[in-house]
Amino acid sequence: MDFIFNYFDESLFAAVSLFVLFFWMLAQGVAISVAIAVSSILTGLFFLPFDTAFFIATQKMFAGIDSFTLLAIPFFILAGNIMNKGGIAMRLVNLAKLFGGRLPGALAHTNVIANMLFGSISGSAIAAAAAVGGTMAPLQKKEGYDPEFSAAVNIASAPSGILIPPSGPLILYSLVSGGTSISALFLGGYVPGILMGLSIMIVASIIAYKRGYPIAAKVPCKQAFFIILDALPSLLMVIVVIGGIVAGIFTATEGAAVAVLYSFLLSLIYRMASPKEYLEVLRSSMEMSASILFLIAASGIMSYVMTITSIPDVIADALLMFDSPIVIFLIMNFCLLIIGFFMDLTPAVLIFTPIFLPIAQELGMDPVHFGLMLIFNLGIGSMTPPVGSVLFVGCAIGGVTIEKVAKPLMPFFIVLIVALLLITYFPILTTGLPRLLGLM
């Protein structure tokens, strides 16, 4: 071992060992939470005695999930799943038609707006892609839309829901970053989320115009009124939850519990779910919550190992060799994009926030700004192969293969990269609204 350390700095050796072990286990099909824990423990054994390493690993796993704020994540997951089963999607699709129906490719714009609305209520890009995509795909096929184009629009716009609050990833980032204001993150997410949706709509308009996709018939005022009235209870949940959190009436966790109660009462009023479906919602919510919480617990070990081995300092020193913050942020975004290709959003937030956030802060970037840039970046990763969860769901719902949807996705991918750069280099887009309301 001493021979190795004669040639490698300890921190650099630890960084290489940790990430090589981690990605090797992922390539072997090991569950990502297990890969995080095992690679971290094995790397820690280079620096700590065997019994000490395992004792600390256990301690850090429990400490990682010992947080009241973390309860917000399973509550928001449950609320989103209830709404997914409770007849919310069709009402939001009808509302979205009012806003996007008079543009070329009306149903494509309806899909984008509905994803933004449903995503903001459910807090899940996957739920939005499944619920809205499942509703829109048959309608678009009937109107003569190309299935690959329809699937691409649905896949590209679904991640807007993880930026428009309430958002589980933003809550997770708040915890990992050491307590960044959830209220500020929630308010700051509106502009990036809307920017993502508008970017998709611009590209969809150009393609729809070239292909001659139809404009929807004008909706009579009386019918429009009843459509808005029908969707209003669903939209009120966002106002109640986000308004209550921002106003300080309740915490994010209490707001999530309110969202569960509200969505349950709403589903009872709509009478769209059976008792058996409610049990299925509880089961799927428990499974999803358990997998996320175990990921968070495992990441506690990795965070500790990175701290004792000074891995973040090594990466920071390498990046800070460049004099220009513009170049550093560009490199940072490029790295995160590549990471998003191969890793889901949740583990990526857990692993790379402690690495890149200190660098961003040293360069004067606010934690709220960095967090929204990070989530926007990794949201793009969720629509790209080989492990993009939204990509797989969107293709399955749209009845198309990944190979066929890859080319139609490219224009949307490019415009989202442009939007990401705007988010990165114009802080007012993320911090303007929280500062205006005195949350920063």
SS (H, E, C) 185-209: HHHHCHHHHHHHHHHHHHHHHHHHH
Note the pLDDT of residue 329.
Answer: 92
Which residues make Cβ contacts (< 8 Å) with residue 131, sequence separation at least 6?
A: 84, 88, 89, 118, 122
Q: Where are the alpha helices (DSSP H) in 320-401?
A: 325-342, 345-362, 367-381, 389-398
Q: Calculate mean pLDDT across residues 11-35.
A: 79
Q: Indicate whether 111 pLDDT > 80.
A: yes
Residue 378: is its pLDDT beyond 60?
A: yes
- Mean pLDDT over 169-179 rounds to 85
CA distance 155 to 148: 10
Position 1 scores a pLDDT of: 42
Angle, helices 252-270/72-85, rounded to nearest 10 degrees = 20
Place of tokens 């506690």: 300
Whether residue 398 is predicted with pLDDT greater than 70 in this model: the reply is: yes
Which has more confidence, 362 or 247? 362
pLDDT the model gives residue 89: 67
Residue 121 has pLDDT above 80, yes or no: no
State the pLDDT at residue 397: 81
Q: Give me the pLDDT at residue 305, please.
A: 79
pLDDT of residue 100: 66
pLDDT at 283 over 70: yes
pLDDT at 269: 77
Does residue 169 contact residue 72 with C-beta atoms inside 8 Å? no
The mean pLDDT value for 132-136 works out to 78
More confident residue, 288 or 24: 24
pLDDT in the model for residue 262? 84
Identify the band that residue 426 occupies on the pLDDT scale cut at 50, 70 and 90.
very high
Per residue in 286-325, pLDDT (tens digit) is: 887 888 788 778 877 877 777 777 777 777 777 778 878 8
CB 187 within 8 A of CB 246: yes
Q: Please determine, for residue 8, whether its predicted confidence score (pLDDT) is greater than 70.
A: no
Res. 423 pLDDT band, cuts 50 70 90: very high
- 8 A C-beta contact, residue 142 and residue 96: no
Confidence of residue 196 (pLDDT cuts 50, 70, 90): very high
Inform me whether the pLDDT recorded for 82 exceeds 70: yes
pLDDT in tens, 219-245: 777 777 888 888 788 778 778 887 887
Peptide bond into 166 cis (omega under 30): yes
CA pair distance 345, 292, nearest whole angstrom: 11
- 101/48 Cα distance (integer angstroms): 63
- The per-residue pLDDT for 376 is 93
Omega cis (within 30) before 165: no
Percent composition of the chain: helix, strand, coil (DSSP 3-state, to 5): 80, 0, 20
Q: What is the pLDDT of residue 102?
A: 65
Q: Which residues, including other chains, have CB under 8 Å from residue 61's CB and lie 6 or more apart?
A: 37, 297, 298, 300, 301
Over range 249-254, report the average pLDDT: 82
Looking at the predicted structure, is the pLDDT value of residue 43 above 60? yes
